[in-house]
């Protein structure tokens, strides 16, 4: 009976029932989907108690700092796209910034060679955190509930603990040797020799930090006791973040990257995220062809997709960086005319090697894998798409003395040496070189989509390092071009190409041998990956029904009411 009811909902509200998997949660009033059942429930509770989507997003974010410490954080940063019920769209950039004492070649030895691990596993790997400031900025601009109220559930979770899931225990156990490198980290995350499902995980120091923030706001984190703890941690570990760095941090509200794909309007992040520009490039190139008579995940579907990805990532390496430090030709890169030119050398019978495929030609210039994503929609039609990160799983593995939270290793996202790949294999050039107070380039792609009638339609995003952009692009095409509901679009197998290395990555055992053989015969080199991303997304039906989808690849949780 329940399945029949769900099917009727899909028919009545004009959501395609092409395939058998229904969204995890369906509701009239609001929806939340995140990497943690505890965080999702906290978000739903905020919505049920009269909070809006921005309130819920802030509460979810703080909850993830407790229950998903490998990516949820106080010591990292991220991006937020907000669409209000009136249709206004704004973005908040709370990306980490390089400390004042950072410099261009700080990770190179006297011979100009990269010092292995320095940009990843040391205190020098950390940028100045932005999460707390970003959440407070969003609250002041768009929130309705009290700041203290939004932090209270996370304080309780950290104080009283939560039961570990299989995923939680597996992550902690697999990273035990990593935690043991830092004495503060070891006290919390390697307190037991082995964690099991159902173990109660308590974080007293983190609870105290959250309680201080609930009273003193972002000023407490950046100028108060917590800032003193961060500086003490820098002294202990040889890091370079100072009191001045913390006191001077500011989130930035920016205009979204806005473009249309087949009459759907996309709103995504501008630099220092590369997500919005690269997403626009990929979809604009694909708009020059039709998928109407193309089989899903056939060669004729995957090949043009891969080629559009390669060209977008080649441009990423050349042109993109923090717009406060470098001129980025945004309007050109996201234009339809540039996409037509960029894709004009695509030939399905003749593959251009990445080594011969450079960036597009642009007249300079006409204008000045561990992350977590969550999506929220409320009963008024406000929507929030948020991606936050420490960069690598558990960041640099260093916990701030007495504060209970991990620091990021985001400095690796700079181009630490031209042509040298970061931990996700991405390369960069001068536009993304290190400079004090500069934001490092990111692949995070929180995105909101309106339908052709300008109604809220999709809230999208994913973790996954360099694969984030291509994951979001594929989900959008799955819904818009192939008529999938959001759950099937999220669960569908994924592939990825990022220009360099010159490989098509594909999820293991999920593509036909015929398609893989065809791609290989055309000259593509293929590489298997266990999984790509964890996209927690929401679709809104024509009558306002919310369809909330948690990615089946991990133990995510989608709720609605």
C-alpha pair distances (Å), 438 with each of 128, 323, 508: 10, 9, 38
Residues 6+ apart with CB under 8 A from 383: 53, 82, 83, 375, 376, 377, 448, 456, 459, 538
Q: Per the structure block, which two tokens stand in for 525?
A: 């080199």
C-alpha pair distances (Å), 365 with each of 211, 438, 470: 48, 20, 27
3-class SS at 359? Answer: coil
pLDDT surpassing 70 at residue 18: no
Query: Residue 327's Cα: distance from chain center in Å?
Result: 24
Q: Per the structure block, which two tokens stand in for 456?
A: 């809220």
Q: How confident is the model at residue 1 (pLDDT cuts 50, 70, 90)?
A: very low
Side-chain-side CA neighbours of 416 within 13 Å: the count stands at 27
pLDDT surpassing 60 at residue 14: no
- Tell me if 310 sits within 8 A of 357, measured CB to CB: yes
pLDDT surpassing 50 at residue 11: no
Q: How confident is the model at residue 425 (pLDDT cuts 50, 70, 90)?
A: confident
Residue 260, Cβ density class (10 Å: 0-12 exposed, 13-18 middle, ≥19 buried): middle
pLDDT reported for residue 369? 60
CA distance 392 to 271: 20
CA distance 437 to 217: 22
DSSP 412-460: GGS-SSTT---TTS----GGG---TTPBPPB----EEEE-TTS-EEEEE
Q: Say what percent of the chain tops pLDDT 70.
A: 95
Residues 6+ apart with CB under 8 A from 481: 262, 291
Cβ neighbour number for residue 334 with a 10 Å cutoff: 23
C-alpha pair distances (Å), 343 with each of 4, 305, 338, 503: 44, 11, 9, 19
Q: Is 559 left (phi over 0), alpha (psi -120 to 50) or beta?
A: beta
Nearest to 393 by CA among 423, 426, 425: 423
pLDDT surpassing 90 at residue 414: yes
Query: Residue 123's Cα: distance from chain center in Å?
Result: 23
Question: 3-state secondary structure string, 9-50?
Answer: HHHHCCCCCCCCCCCCEEECCCEEEECCHHHHHHHHHHHHCC
Site of tokens 């009963």:
379
Residues 145-170 have a mean pLDDT of 98
Q: How confident is the model at residue 4 (pLDDT cuts 50, 70, 90)?
A: very low
Q: What share of the chain is helix, strand, coil (3-state, %, to 5)?
A: 40, 15, 45
CA distance 428 to 269: 19
CA distance 86 to 508: 43
Q: What secondary structure letter does DSSP report for 392?
A: S
pLDDT reported for residue 174? 96
Relative to beta strand 370-377, strand 383-391 is antiparallel
CA distance 123 to 245: 15
Q: Which domains does the chain have, with CATH numbers?
A: 27-253+375-432 (no CATH), 256-344+444-560 (3.60.20.40)
Q: Of 370 and 193, which is predicted with more confidence?
A: 193
Catalytic residues: 371
Q: Say what percent of the chain tops pLDDT 90.
A: 91
pLDDT in tens, 426-447: 888 889 999 999 999 999 999 9
C-alpha pair distances (Å), 196 with each of 39, 72, 86, 193: 21, 21, 47, 10
The C-alpha torsion from 205 through 211 and 217 to 221, rounded to 10°, is: -10
Residues 211-216 have a mean pLDDT of 98
Residues 468-479 have a mean pLDDT of 98
Helix (H) or strand (E) run with residue 157 in it = helix 147-160
pLDDT reported for residue 448? 99
- Tell me if 147 sits within 8 A of 136, measured CB to CB: yes
Lowest mean pLDDT, pick from 329-333, 421-425, 456-460, 500-504:
421-425
Q: How confident is the model at residue 363 (pLDDT cuts 50, 70, 90)?
A: low
Longest Cα–Cα distance in the chain? 71
Q: Per the structure block, which two tokens stand in for 316?
A: 């990423």
- Tell me if 65 sits within 8 A of 207, measured CB to CB: no
Helix (H) or strand (E) run with residue 82 in it = strand 77-83
Q: Per the structure block, which two tokens stand in for 482?
A: 């192939």
Sign of the CA dihedral with 241 first, then 35, 547, and 294 last: positive
Residue 11, Cβ density class (10 Å: 0-12 exposed, 13-18 middle, ≥19 buried): exposed
The number of residues in the chain equals: 561
Nearest to 74 by CA among 463, 407, 384, 394: 407
Helix (H) or strand (E) run with residue 472 in it = helix 468-480
């Amino acid at each position: 009976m329940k399945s029949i009811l769900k099917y009727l909902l899909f028919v009545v509200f004009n959501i395609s029932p092409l395939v058998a998997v229904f969204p995890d949660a369906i509701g009239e009033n609001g929806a939340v989907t995140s990497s943690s059942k505890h965080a999702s429930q906290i978000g739903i509770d905020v919505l049920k108690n009269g909070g809006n989507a921005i309130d819920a997003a802030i509460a979810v974010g703080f909850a993830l700092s407790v229950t998903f410490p490998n990516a949820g954080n106080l010591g990292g940063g991220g991006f937020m796209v907000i669409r209000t019920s009136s249709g206004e769209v704004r973005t908040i950039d709370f990306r980490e910034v390089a400390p004042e004492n950072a410099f261009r070649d700080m990770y190179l030895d006297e011979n100009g060679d990269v010092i292995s691990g320095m940009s990843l596993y040391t205190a020098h790997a950390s940028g100045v955190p932005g999460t707390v400031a970003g959440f407070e900025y969003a609250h002041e601009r768009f929130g309705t509930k009290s700041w203290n109220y939004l932090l209270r559930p996370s304080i309780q979770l950290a104080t009283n603990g939560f039961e570990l899931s299989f995923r939680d225990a597996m992550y902690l156990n697999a990273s035990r040797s990593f935690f043991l490198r830092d004495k503060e980290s070891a006290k919390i995350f390697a307190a037991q020799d082995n964690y099991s499902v159902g173990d109660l995980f308590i974080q007293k120091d983190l609870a105290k930090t959250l309680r201080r923030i609930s009273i003193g706001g972002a000023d407490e984190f950046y100028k108060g006791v917590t800032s003193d703890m961060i500086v003490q941690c820098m002294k202990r570990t040889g890091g370079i973040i100072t009191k001045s760095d913390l006191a001077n941090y500011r989130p930035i509200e920016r205009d979204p990257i806005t473009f249309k794909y087949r009459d759907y309007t996309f709103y995504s992040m501008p630099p220092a995220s590369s997500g919005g520009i690269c997403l626009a490039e990929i979809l604009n190139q694909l708009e020059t062809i039709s998928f109407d008579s193309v089989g899903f995940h056939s060669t004729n579907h995957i090949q043009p997709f891969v080629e559009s990805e390669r060209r977008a990532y080649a441009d990423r390496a050349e042109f993109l960086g923090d717009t406060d430090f470098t001129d980025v030709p945004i309007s050109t890169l996201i234009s339809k005319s540039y996409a037509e030119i960029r894709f004009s050398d695509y030939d399905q019978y003749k593959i251009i090697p990445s080594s011969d495929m450079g960036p597009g030609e642009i007249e300079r210039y006409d204008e000045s894998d561990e992350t977590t994503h969550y999506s929220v929609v409320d009963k008024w039609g406000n929507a929030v798409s948020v991606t936050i990160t420490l960069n690598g799983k558990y960041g640099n593995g260093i916990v701030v003395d007495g504060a209970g939270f991990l620091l990021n290793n985001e400095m690796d996202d700079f181009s630490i040496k031209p042509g040298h790949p970061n931990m996700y294999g991405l390369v960069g050039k001068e536009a993304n070189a290190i400079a004090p107070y500069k934001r490092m380039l990111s692949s995070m792609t929180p995105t909101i989509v309106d339908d052709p009638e300008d109604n809220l339609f999709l809230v999208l995003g994913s973790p996954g390092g360099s694969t984030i952009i291509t994951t979001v692009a594929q989900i959008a095409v799955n819904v818009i071009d192939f008529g999938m509901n959001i759950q099937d679009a999220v669960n569908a197998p994924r592939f990825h190409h990022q220009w360099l290395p010159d490989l098509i990555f594909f999820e293991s055992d999920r593509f036909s041998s015929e398609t893989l053989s065809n791609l290989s015969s055309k000259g593509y080199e293929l590489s298997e990956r266990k999984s790509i991303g964890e996209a927690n997304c929401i679709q809104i039906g024509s009558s306002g029904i919310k369809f909330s989808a948690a990615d089946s690849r991990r133990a995510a949780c989608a709720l609605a009411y």
